[in-house]
Structure 1
Amino acid sequence: MSTALVELVLERGFSALTVEDITEHADVGRATFYSHFRDKEGLFAQVTNNLLDELAERLRPAVTDSQVGFTGRPVMEMLRHARDERDVYRIVLRGEGDGKPLQMFMDTLADATAEEFRDRAARNAVEPRIDPGLLARVWVGEQIAVLRWWAEQEVPPMPAEDVVRMLLDLGLHGRYWASGFDAPA
Structure 2
Amino acid sequence: MTQTIRRSKEDLRQKRTRHLLVQALVALLEEQSFSSLSVVDICQRAMVHRTTFYAHFEDKQALLHYTIESILQEFEISAASPSLSPHDFFLAVAHSALVFLSQHRSLFQVGLGTQDHFGALALESTLSQRMSQHLTQPSFQGILGDLNPEITAHFYAGAMASLVYWWVEHNMPVTEEVLVRHLDHFLPGRSICAEKG
- Tell me which residue corresponds to 1:117: 135
Compute the displacement of 1:138 (Å).
0.6
**Does structure 2 retain, via aligned residues, the 8 Å contact 1:76–1:160?**
yes
The two structures have a TM-score, normalised by structure 2, of 0.61
| Cα distance per residue 1:25-67 (max 9 Å; x no partner) | 95x8xxx6644557xx934642452233022112223254533
**Does structure 1 retain, via aligned residues, the 8 Å contact 2:29–2:107?**
no
Three-state SS of the structure 1 residue aligned to 2:173 is coil
Compute the displacement of 1:109 (Å).
1.8
Whole-angstrom CA distance in 2 between matches of 1:140 and 1:63: 20
Three-state SS of the structure 2 residue aligned to 1:61 is helix
Superposition CA RMSD, Å: 3.5
Distance 1:162 1:45, change over 3 A: same
Whole-angstrom CA distance in 2 between matches of 1:104 and 1:134: 17
- Tell me which residue corresponds to 2:87: 69
Gaps of 5+ in 1: 175-185
Any residues of structure 2 matched to 1:19-168 within 5 Å, and which? 22=41, 34-37=50-53, 42-43=59-60, 45-65=62-82, 66-70=84-88, 72-90=91-109, 91-94=111-114, 96=116, 98-99=117-118, 101-119=119-137, 120-122=139-141, 124=142, 128-154=145-171, 156-168=172-184
In the alignment of these two chains, the number of paired residues is 158
Whole-angstrom CA distance in 2 between matches of 1:172 and 1:37: 40
% identity of equivalent residues: 17
Whole-angstrom CA distance in 2 between matches of 1:6 and 1:45: 19
Distance 1:95 1:164, change over 3 A: same
The two structures have a TM-score, normalised by structure 1, of 0.65
**Does structure 2 retain, via aligned residues, the 8 Å contact 1:86–1:151?**
yes
Compute the displacement of 1:102 (Å).
3.0
Compute the displacement of 1:121 (Å).
3.8
- Tell me which residue corresponds to 2:7: none
Whole-angstrom CA distance in 2 between matches of 1:87 and 1:36: 28
**Does structure 1 retain, via aligned residues, the 8 Å contact 2:79–2:93?**
yes
- Tell me which residue corresponds to 2:35: 14
Whole-angstrom CA distance in 1 between matches of 2:166 and 2:127: 18
